[in-house]
Amino acid sequence: MSSTDANLARRPDFDIGELDYVLPEELIAQHPPEVRGSSRMVVVDRQRQTIEDDLVANLHSYLRSGDTLVMNNTRVVPAKFRLQRSTGGIIDALFLSEPQPGEWSVLLKGAQRVSIGESLSLICPAKETSAAGITLIAKERGERGMWQLQLATAKPKSAAQILERVGRMPLPPYIKRNKGADDHDVEDSNRYQTIYADKPGAVAAPTAGLHFTEPLLEKIKNANVATHYVTLHVGYGTFAPVEVSNLADHNMHHEYFEISQETCSAIAQSREQGGRIVAVGTTSARVLESAWLANRLTEAASGSTDIFCYPPYDFGGTDALLTNFHLPKSTLMALVMAFAGIDLIRKAYQHAVDEKYRFFSYGDAMLIV
């Protein structure tokens, strides 16, 4: 199911300049906090129009008995890998999806001279031999470095199985790492993944979930707050810049999502009893809103969503939101402004800059209630 038909025929105009803010580069977190779950948290209260400072470890104190926490259980695939041509040339690759078994959609860098039908050998780490000898055939060239590759085997393993052995974490471009193997691979493999990641398919982490620890989940459970899961496989499009000045003209990328009947029923029961639906991350919020537009969250839903929430979007499936800080002029910045209001988010972001919060994927959090 695509949310395209559920959107307005002509979306409202919105100037991308409204999403801009000044961020000192030194506030972009290059590494996770030393201890998972130790991050700071800005608390934004929409009704009171207040901005306060706290810690993610105290999230449970802002939840009410009967609330339902909705989390994205996607698992990040180590999607960065390298290929070698028969000429010896090296190509950097990013796995995007597996439309059919053995068929890979990838983004290739340095593949200008690759021809259709050419064999490309998968380069394995020195200590990894199980994936040695794997070859992919160049089947179709797309735009902007996009390619369709085919595994040269009759019974291919899944892309996730192969990449778990040979791939590296697809960190966002604003997180800098050495190009070759480095000391951070182990750190990123662990910390750029939520502790409840279950379903492989994402090429970027649902970063609000990175803050959660078993002790925090236990505190949330003891506060009589239910935890349920949805899936949205975060795609490469989440890093794509908005290239239009009017958001009404932006073509949102598609991502696979699913929400179970069990989760929908739990949400309905929670709301009937006065509880709130608290989305952990913009990805969870986009699943909730996609399902809300499809069937008012009354039954299971799955498929492709390109939902684009920006002011003056009216949220129907999300009552509170835990999220990280987002890039200027991004679709995620648009979503939080739609949820909390343009002026309040501007003030909250300026407060975070002034107080030297850590920004983006490995950074601190914001709770909007």
Which tens digits make up the pLDDT trace of 233-284?
Answer: 999 888 788 999 999 999 999 999 999 999 999 999 999 999 999 999 999 9
Q: What proportion of the chain, given as a percentage, has pLDDT over 90? A: 84
Q: Which residues of 64-86 are buried (b: 16+ CB within 10 A; e: fewer)?
A: eebbbbbbbbbbbbbbbbbbebe
Instruction: Note the pLDDT tens digit of each residue in 347-365.
Output: 999 999 999 999 999 999 9
Asked if residue 237 lies in contact with residue 105, where contact means CB atoms within 8 angstroms, the answer is no
181 has pLDDT over 60: no
Q: What percent of the chain has pLDDT over 70?
A: 94
pLDDT bracket for residue 326 (50, 70, 90): very high
Cβ partners under 8 Å of residue 246, min gap 6:
13, 14, 15, 16
- Round to whole Å and give the CA distance between 340 and 327: 17
User: What pLDDT sits at residue 238?
Assistant: 83
pLDDT for position 156: 82
- Per-residue pLDDT at 144: 85
Q: What is the pLDDT of residue 368?
A: 99
pLDDT at 182 over 70: no
pLDDT band at 5 (very low <50, low <70, confident <90, very high): very low
Judged against a pLDDT cut of 50, whether residue 160 lies above it is answered with yes
Q: Is 48 exposed, middle or buried (0-12, 13-18, 19+ CB in 10 A)?
A: exposed
The rounded mean pLDDT for the chain is 93
- E strands, 188-254, are 199-202, 226-232
Structure tokens at 172: 């966002």
Torsion of CA 244, 9, 297, 69, to 10 degrees: 20
pLDDT for 126: 60
pLDDT, residue 245, reads 98
For residue 179, pLDDT over 70 is answered with: no
Q: For residue 6, what pLDDT is reported?
A: 44
CB 191 within 8 Å of CB 207: no
Cα(255)–Cα(238) distance, integer angstroms? 10
Over residues 210-242, the pLDDT tens digits come to: 999 999 999 999 999 999 999 999 998 887 889
Torsional class of 71: left (φ above 0), alpha (ψ -120 to 50), beta (otherwise): beta
Instruction: Let me know: does 319 contact 345? Beta carbons within 8 Å.
Output: no
Domains and CATH numbers, the chain: 4-76+190-368 (3.40.1780.10), 80-166 (2.40.10.240)
